[in-house]
Amino acid sequence: VRMLGGFGPTVTAAGAGADGLVREAEETAKLLVSGLVYTPTLETELDPFYVIRSDVAPDPSIGSDYCIELRDGDDGVLDSRCFDLGFYDIETGQPTDVDGFSMVVPYPAGTASVVLTHAGSDLAARTVSRSQPFVRLTQPSGNASFTGSDTVTVMWNAADLDDDPLYFALDYSIDAGASWLPIATDLTAQSFDVDLGTLPGSTQVQFRVGASDGVNTTYAASGSLEIGFVGDQTITVTGKAPTAAIRTATDRVDTGSALILEGTGYDLEDGLLPEDDLVWWSSRDGDLGAGSWLTARLSTGQHTITLTVKDSDGNTATDSITVRVGDQMPQIFLPLVQTK
């Protein structure tokens, strides 16, 4: 299972067929291809591929050693995208015996196989099977409402006429399917527990599941109510409170000296909060101003400094520190006393 985060590209369903299934149209689709290569044997592991339609352009070739080839039934190359692998750890810079790749490539009509090559030789291949999988999202039902701290079990039914093993990708939308946040991919079970506390809230939430047989991909996608699906209707998830964080490390300043206050406000729905919505307060001196960065000259004594942040829904959060101004204990030096 791969857990994902960050908003992905907008992906929309291609439409329903006569059997009520939403499929990705080959002529406008791309293919997400990924896997691992081991050195020095060049043994290869291919991940499940996913067909997508999006406004994101296919990745260009970024090398020449390895190539992903889309081939027709006569083994002719319809499209090819190439890349290089470095076989090193990006954090330590040390050599490794395995490296991964992931590319969005064109998926031309008539593609019969997807082949990974190295220096002109085939390393691994996956055949495009004849039948599409089918999938229906069954839970949660539409018009449901959840709090921002709930855990929701998303469930679906899926099958494949070719008896290929199926892998599933689960997405989340806060704008009724206009854009999608990937939650997890390469799932093998037909359910997944989603912690809503980690996701933005909205009154237009949708879940979407994609079923891949290795290449062919079917989605239980937005618009499913109009074509008879059970599920993927609009769901309400309550908005989340923001978080406040004071970055100032100083806990003592001299009387008359400037104290630099630095902090941030973040909200799952709004992102980084605007400067005017970050308000500073002193327990002794009152209002200090607004912003992610400001200076203040405080009166002598102990202050509790509080940062209050507010999101677009009016939800607030606070963070506080204690700062002492002046009034430091003087250093006392005792004379050296000699004893007999």
pLDDT band at residue 129 under the 50/70/90 scheme? very high
pLDDT in tens, 234-292: 555 666 788 899 998 888 999 989 999 999 999 887 789 999 999 999 999 999 999 99
pTM above 0.75, yes or no: no
Average pLDDT, the chain: 83
pLDDT in tens, 171-215: 988 888 888 889 999 999 999 999 988 888 887 888 899 999 999
Distance between CA atoms of residues 318 and 302, nearest Å: 19
Q: Report the pLDDT value the prediction gives residue 306, as an integer from 0 to 100.
A: 95
Q: Report the pLDDT value the prediction gives residue 138, as an integer from 0 to 100.
A: 85
pLDDT band at residue 90 under the 50/70/90 scheme? confident
Q: Give the residue-averaged pLDDT of 149-177.
A: 89
Q: Give the residue-averaged pLDDT of 151-156.
A: 90
Q: Report the pLDDT value the prediction gives residue 230, as an integer from 0 to 100.
A: 31
The sign of the torsion formed by the CA atoms of 43, 47, 52, 56 equals: negative
Q: Give the residue-averaged pLDDT of 108-134.
A: 95
Domain locations along the chain: 2-127, 133-237, 243-325
- CATH top-level class of 2-127: mainly beta
pLDDT at 8 over 70: no
Q: Report the pLDDT value the prediction gives residue 38, as an integer from 0 to 100.
A: 98
* Residues contacting residue 229 through CB under 8 Å, at least 6 positions apart: 20, 136, 137, 220
Q: Which two tokens stand for residue 129?
A: 């099977």
Q: Which CATH superfamily is domain 133-237 in?
A: Immunoglobulins (2.60.40.10)
pLDDT at 338 over 90: no
pLDDT band at residue 26 under the 50/70/90 scheme? very low
Domain 243-325: which CATH number of 1.10.287.610, 1.10.260.40, 1.10.3080.10, 2.60.40.10:
2.60.40.10
Percent of the chain with pLDDT over 90: 56
Distance between CA atoms of residues 297 and 303, nearest Å: 12
Cβ atoms < 10 Å from Cβ of 333: 6
